[in-house]
Every structure is written in structure tokens, then in C-alpha cells.
Structure 1
Amino acid sequence: MSRIVVGVSGTPGSLAALHRAAAEARARDAALCAVLAWAAPGGELGSRSSCNVSALSQCRTAAVDRLREILYAAFGSERPGVPLEGLTVRATPGAALVHTADDPEDLLVVGTGSRAPLRRLVRPSVARYCLAHAACPVLTVPPSPLQAELDAVHRRNLWRLPLDARELSP
């Protein structure tokens, strides 16, 4: 059975990718594998000390709990209608997804995330990494059009700008 591998983080973009991956899994009669990447506190150098074993265990447990919360937020108590596997991987998001979707028969689904120039400088694009390194087809899901409006509201609140009521009517 082929797999649809999708990266999740809990952001609106990753939830959109998760729903698209579930639709692809239903259409292809494939299993759905939701992957949440996590990192050790202090990075890899910080985790090499033997005193951090409990911290790593706590981070792993927190990642598993976070994945459960994300899947519940996406599907509620119902399941997506296909076999679902949740996987937490200790790695960077791009590497975790490419390593998990290593079969050419897999389909890797990722959200494109924010397109803001400053964010692109600070955080590397997981979608670009996956497109460059994946051994299987990659489906990128653009952000919801509502995300741009939500970002505008956040910016307005950050700068404490007044709301113009004319903007609310279509």
C-alpha cells in the first residue's frame, strides 16, 4: 500500500496540508502518515550531555502529545477515513520528511508556509528543502487566502492601528 506522508506543526498552513493529504489518501486508497519533527533543547550540541536524558525524554513525550493535539484539531474524534499513522522524528522538519518519504511510491505533502521576506530569511523553507531532496513526488499546498487576512489583523493589532469598519463589508 502506498503512503501519503505529510508534515505537521500545528500552524494553519500545516493543517491545510494535512487535510489535503487526507483527501489524497482517500482518492488513492493510501495510508496517511503525519510527521512531526522535533529538536532537542539547545540543539544537537546541547543534547550530547548525559545529564539531559530526562530532558530528551520530556521533549519526546511533548512532541507525541503535540502530534495527538494536532490530529485531534484536524479531524476531531473522527478519523480521516484512511489508515492513519502518527510519527514524531527528532530532526529538522525537511530532513525528517525526506527521510520518512523515502519510497518512490510515496507522496510527500507539505505546506508552503509564509511568504513574507523576513521570515524567509530567518527560517529556511521546508517545502524547498523537500522539493530539492525528496525521492518521491512532492505536493506543496499554498496557504489559505484567509491566512493573509489573519496576518493583516495581527499586524494591525501589533501596531495598535484602529479598525476601519468599511473594511469589514464586502
Structure 2
Amino acid sequence: MRKKGTEAVARVVVGVTGTPGSLTALHGAAAEARVRGAELVAVLAWQSPGGELGSRNGWGPTVLTECRAAAADRLREALDVAFGVVRPRVTVGGLTVRGTPGAVLVDVARDPEDLLVVGTGSRAALRRLVHPSVARYCLAHASCPVLAVPPSPLQAELTAVRRRNRLRMPLVLREPTG
């Protein structure tokens, strides 16, 4: 909990990337914040081009400033896409932090009274090899409760449609069951 004046303010911290899975987590976090009467803190972690090794190759301060500005724009865009003109009925704060997503989220949500919300995303075998799971990192390292939000059921259908389109397979229309 953070102090605001003399009263304690509970926080729900959520990782945001702008992907459909993170937007689902953002909606879940907003619902949790409403129930708890807490502040919603949307966090976008960003890295310099090339990651940590790239930051040592002589990128000037202007490149880092541009990356920071691009991250802030991406966070604003994700919040606009998630909530549109109808804002959630909670206080929303945004934070962009340079670093790896799991470590950044665990650091921001370091108070035991915080709630950390992360999306689980799709975990195809190849993707697991290339990108480690942020949700697993947070579950293993966070000092506060962690809520892992699974992807929307519509996300699986969207992925299947994209796969069919990519492979140029015909769309099979079925009668609804039930």
C-alpha cells in the first residue's frame, strides 16, 4: 500500500503490452481494482534496442529518449484500446519502466498489500523456448499475491482464423450447436 496524504491506497498492478492477452489482463485488473477500491497501475516494461547488450554499444541518449517516448505512446494506446471513451471507475496510473517485464513487474508490485495481475498468453512450445513466461517469473518472485489471467476464449478462435488465413485454408461454417 502506498500513502496518499494520511490514508493508505491499495494498488492493483498490471503488466501491459497492447496484445489481446494483456488487454484481457487489464480488464481483469480493472475489475479487481473496483472491487478492492484500489488504484490501478498499468505498467509497460521496455528495453533499449538489442536489450542490455544493445545499451552498451554506444546508443546515445537520444535513442533511449525516443524508446522511452515510444513506450509511453504504446501504453497510452493500450489504455485507449482497452477502455475507449468509457474509462474504468477507478483511478488509473501508467508507468513505463526500462527492464525485462517480469523483473519490472515484481519490482513495481513489491508491497505485500499490492495485487499483481499478469496475462498468461498462449504458450506454444516454440514460443516458450524463445520468450520465457512473464507470468511464471512473477509467480515465482513476487512478494505480493499474483493473479494470472488466462487469454479470452475468443483469442483461441482468432488465432485459429489467422492460422487458416496464413495457410490459405477455406473457412468452414458450421451451424451453432446447443
Task: Name the counterpart of 1:125.
Answer: 133
Structure with the higher helix share, 1 or 2: 1
Q: CA RMSD in A?
A: 1.1
CA distance, structure 1, for counterparts of residue 60 and residue 95 of structure 2: 22
CA distance, structure 1, for counterparts of residue 115 and residue 170 of structure 2: 45
3-state SS of paired residue (1:71):
helix
Deviation at 1:50, TM superposition (A): 4.7
Counterpart pick for 1:23 among 24, 31, 51:
31
Task: Name the counterpart of 1:75.
Answer: 83
Counterpart pick for 2:74 among 66, 83, 89:
66
The alpha-carbon distance between structure 1 residues 163 and 51, as it changes in their structure 2 partners (threshold 3 A), is: closer
Greater Cα offset, 77-86 or 67-76: 77-86
Task: Name the counterpart of 1:140.
Answer: 148
Q: Which amino acid aligns with 1:28?
A: R
Q: Which amino acid aligns with 1:82?
A: V
Task: Name the counterpart of 1:12.
Answer: 20
CA deviation map 1:94-115 (0-9, x unaligned): 0110000000000000000112
Task: Name the counterpart of 1:95.
Answer: 103
Q: What is the TM-score with the length of structure 2 in the denominator?
A: 0.90
Task: Name the counterpart of 2:113.
Answer: 105
Deviation at 1:77, TM superposition (A): 2.6
Identity %: 71
The alpha-carbon distance between structure 1 residues 155 and 51, as it changes in their structure 2 partners (threshold 3 A), is: closer
Q: Which amino acid aligns with 1:29?
A: G
CA distance, structure 1, for counterparts of residue 28 and residue 170 of structure 2: 36
Q: What is the TM-score with the length of structure 1 in the denominator?
A: 0.95
CA deviation map 1:109-139 (0-9, x unaligned): 0000112222112111000000000000000
Task: Name the counterpart of 1:37.
Answer: 45
Q: Which runs of 5+ in 2 are unaligned?
A: 1-8
CA distance, structure 1, for counterparts of residue 103 and residue 154 of structure 2: 29
Q: Number of paired residues?
A: 168
3-state SS of paired residue (2:40):
strand
CA distance, structure 1, for counterparts of residue 42 and residue 32 of structure 2: 13
Deviation at 1:51, TM superposition (A): 4.5
CA distance, structure 1, for counterparts of residue 167 and residue 119 of structure 2: 28
CA distance, structure 2, for counterparts of residue 46 and residue 22 of structure 1: 35
TM superposition outliers: structure 1 runs of 4+ over 3 Å: none
CA deviation map 1:76-103 (0-9, x unaligned): 1332111111000101110110000000
Deviation at 1:163, TM superposition (A): 1.6
